[in-house]
């Protein structure tokens, strides 16, 4: 079975989104300060704080963010979600690093809800366990852990690396729900996603720590942040839509063989 020309165009669009410049590069371009340099402005123990807040935020978002989408229809409300994230980001920027501890869980939930909205628009059942976990996977597409092997940085490589943890978590949730926060299956999945999403969050925090970034800068950074994950979500769920229509191995083979020579916009 061959993929139609239209669906190959869809797959090319998805790959262009998924392989856009890194979040760090996009932040550096807007902020004007290399993110690596900005990391030096953070307190020594900030990485551990980020890890804890990110892990907690992802767990809460997994259960909360999709509830208000049950009756939604039509195209995804990307701009509405971006506006909400920008507003929250402005508040975080106005209060500096301490404000981020309050802002981050809210931003994460907004982003999760936007991801779920995009999933719905691509034909996913947002009430299913599989779709909710696929939404969670998107957060792992936003950054590369320094502990990763080179082969684990591509889109399909990340999905493959998470596959066992996602499967185990899905089985656990099907049997016992999300109430057991400390369940090993959920801990393993959230830890794997947190390790990758935490990189992106650290880059965001570093950008917001630049002196005089303020409320306006905080809003701009959150706009880039949510747009980045909206791009990842759109690409991810286009691929999943095609995987429902064709053999998964065929979709991956075609994806990896595509040459990118045009911008998706």
What confidence tens digit (pLDDT) does each residue in 79-115 have? 665 666 555 555 554 445 566 677 778 888 888 888 9
- Who wins on pLDDT, 31 or 60? 60
CA dist 10 to 4, 6, 125, 250, 253, Å? 10, 6, 20, 14, 15
For residue 240, tell me if it sits in a domain: yes
Among 20-24, 97-101, 160-164, the least confident range: 97-101
For residue 127, tell me if it sits in a domain: yes
Q: Do residues 141 and 155 make contact, with C-beta atoms less than 8 angstroms apart?
A: yes
- The pLDDT assigned to 148 comes to 45
For residue 130, tell me if it sits in a domain: yes
Q: Give the integer Cα–Cα distance in Å for 29 and 47.
A: 23
For residue 171, tell me if it sits in a domain: yes
- Who wins on pLDDT, 160 or 68? 160
> 151 pLDDT band (50/70/90 cuts)?
very low
- Please give the residue range of the domain that contains residue 118: 5-257
For residue 203, tell me if it sits in a domain: yes
For residue 153, tell me if it sits in a domain: yes
Exposure pattern of 119-139 as b/e (b: 16+ CB <10 Å)?
bbbbebebeebebbbbbbbbb
> 145 pLDDT band (50/70/90 cuts)?
very low
- The pLDDT assigned to 142 comes to 62
Q: What share of the chain has pLDDT > 70, as a percent?
A: 67
Q: Give the integer Cα–Cα distance in Å for 221 and 216.
A: 9
Closest by Cα among 124, 160, 151, 142 to 58: 142
- The pLDDT assigned to 150 comes to 41
Residue 119 has pLDDT above 80, yes or no: yes
- Who wins on pLDDT, 110 or 263? 110
For residue 262, tell me if it sits in a domain: no
- The pLDDT assigned to 23 comes to 78
For residue 216, tell me if it sits in a domain: yes
Residue 213 has pLDDT above 60, yes or no: no
Tell me the HSE value of 51 on the side-chain side, using a 13 A CA sphere. Answer: 9
Largest CA distance in the chain: 57
> How many domains is the chain partitioned into structurally?
1
């Amino acid at each position: 079975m061959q993929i139609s020309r239209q669906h190959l165009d869809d797959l090319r669009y998805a790959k262009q989104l998924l392989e856009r410049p890194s979040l760090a590069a996009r932040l550096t371009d807007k902020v004007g300060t290399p993110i690596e340099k900005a990391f030096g402005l953070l307190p020594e123990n900030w990485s551990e704080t980020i890890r804890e807040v990110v892990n907690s935020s992802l767990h809460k978002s997994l259960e909360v963010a999709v509830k208000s989408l049950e009756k939604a229809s039509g195209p995804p409300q990307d701009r509405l979600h971006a506006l909400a994230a920008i507003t929250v980001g402005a508040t975080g920027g106005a209060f500096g690093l301490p404000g981020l501890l309050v802002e981050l869980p809210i931003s994460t939930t907004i982003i999760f809800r936007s991801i779920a909205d995009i999933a719905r628009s691509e034909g996913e059942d947002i009430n299913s366990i599989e779709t909710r976990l696929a939404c969670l996977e998107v957060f792992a597409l936003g950054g590369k852990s320094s502990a990763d092997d080179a082969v684990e940085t591509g889109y399909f490589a990340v999905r493959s690396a998470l596959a066992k943890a996602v499967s185990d978590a899905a089985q656990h949730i099907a049997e016992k729900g999300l109430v057991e926060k400390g369940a090993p299956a959920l801990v393993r999945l959230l830890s794997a996603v947190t390790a990758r999403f935490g990189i992106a969050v650290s880059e965001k925090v570093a950008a917001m720590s630049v002196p005089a970034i303020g409320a306006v800068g905080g809003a701009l950074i959150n706009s880039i942040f949510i747009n980045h994950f909206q791009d990842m979500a759109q690409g991810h769920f286009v691929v999943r839509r095609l995987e429902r229509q064709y053999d998964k191995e065929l979709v991956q083979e075609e994806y990896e063989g595509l040459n990118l020579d045009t911008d998706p916009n």
